[in-house]
Amino acid sequence: MDENKALTPFRIDIPQADIDDLRNRLAHTRWPIPVPGRDDRADFSRGIPPVYLKELAEYWRDGFDWRAQEERLNEYEQFTTVVDGQTFHVVHVRSTNPEAAPLLLNHGWPGSFVEYRRLIPLLADEFHVVVPSPPGFGFSTPLSGTGWELARTTEAYAEIMTRLGYERFGAHGTDIGAGITGRLAGLYPERVIGTHIGCDPRWLGLVGDRFPCPDGLSDDEIAQLEAVRAEDAADRGYLGMQNHRPDTIGAALTDSPVGQLAWIAEKFKTRTGGDHRTPDESVDRDQLLTNIGLYWFTRSGASSAQFYYESEHSGVDLFMPSGVPSGWAVFDTNPLVRRVMDPWKAIGHWSEFTEGGHFPAMEETELLADDIRAFFRGLS
């Protein structure tokens, strides 16, 4: 029997009992005994500082209004659809512009469709915006089984665009979403108008793993590259757990909201621009907690980690070459990024911004929107 290809309207409505349970758990957190001297809220050298984590947890419990955020998210049309046995949640915002092109926005971890909440209105004048959640993320849960990794997800996204009636479309992505974006272009070059990638200097950590180190780097540039790679390696503890032991970390993330809060909020320190800012000084605090709340309410701290395990053990390369036009926007950049990532200057649209970081849709929304528009206008 053919799979049901229905697009089922969806509206976010977290049960009040779940919201009350979250507040109760936060009120009864069993805190670690602090290490003497760990009282600097901006000192992330050992991970998220306990004093700062308590601040966030108290606000999440007593100051944060999930219902208000839920109402904002529900302003956008949403639906669910089943592809290859897996339920996918999709945000779909139709433009009123008759000349609008479809644009797929692909996020990664620890992001969600919430990441694009402020970006969507800035794009809707030129694009029909589509934001799917990968399997195990947000409302693309529960997982239907094992085997949901980057390649299978890419094919599912192409099917979702077909169901929406979009034969040709553009794609933007960051993090895991950048891999999905590139793979869409590699598999479906006749369908993908162009790909736009948002990244930051942490991508230099892929040199040697995914990218060869280019010839001709000066001693100073090599030292800079090694410093960035060392910093990235020090920040990859989460990657080892999610790549190899998702069930172990998943239990803690599902049972402890403060554990989930710490696990994600720390990444909004280490991967955003601004060395001296706390996570909620780099991005809007309510948007950050809405994103984290989505992981909590859907139990996708555990299921999103499974995506890492599946991708790590699939043998599928994160990057797939194609002849589709590509644009890159590098945030919190330095000159070394292009020297290493695009030494031949093969990428026609290359933008560099000193602002922002790994989450440009949340950190520098207008810069990202302007760059996406400029790239796709250049293709028409």
Instruction: Determine which one of 308, 309, 332, 371 is catalytic.
Output: 308
Q: Catalytic residue, from 175, 232, 286, 332: name it.
A: 175
Angstrom CA distances, 78 to 97, 133, 187, 230, stand at 20, 11, 26, 41
Instruction: Give the DSSP H or E segment for 196.
Output: strand 192-199
The DSSP letter of residue 63 is T
Token output for 73: 């998210």
Clarify whether 342 is annotated catalytic.
Answer: no
Give the separation between CA 141 and CA 24, rounded to whole angstroms. Answer: 24
Angle between helices 285-298 and 257-265 (to 10 degrees): 130
Whether 175 is catalytic is: yes
- Three-state SS string across 304-329, please? HHHHHHHHHCCCCCCCCCCCCCEEEE
- For tokens 């503890």, the residue is 237
Terminal Cα distance for the chain, rounded: 41
Pick the catalytic residue from 89, 107, 128, 358. 358
Give the 3-state secondary structure of 204-238.
HHHECCCECCCCCCCHHHHHHHHHHHHHHHHCCHH
Q: Rounded CA gap, 166 and 178, in Å? A: 20
276 in active site: no
Catalytic annotation, residues: 175, 308, 358
